[in-house]
Amino acid sequence: MSEEVVPQQAGPAQPKGLLQQMEELMAALNADLSNLHEEAGFSPLESQEQIRSSVAE
């Protein structure tokens, strides 16, 4: 018989606010987009310019 080990948290979990969750998701999305641009052969500067222009539209 096997037992699954569930990691215990160090203390009571603090729920994150919606704004903090959105900021973390946006940061992760921006990092992913930067990586995709780099893999596609764009320089980091071109990637930032392209992201800014798409946000401004």
pLDDT of res. 3: 60
pLDDT of res. 23: 93
- Residues 46, 37 contacting (CB under 8 angstroms): yes
Q: What is the pLDDT of residues 22-46, one digit of tens each?
A: 999 999 999 998 888 888 888 766 6
Mean pLDDT value of segment 40-55: 70
In 10 A of CB 56, how many CB atoms?
A: 6
Q: Look up residue 48 and give its two tokens.
A: 């930032």
Q: What is the pTM of this model?
A: 0.48
- Residues 19, 37 contacting (CB under 8 angstroms): no
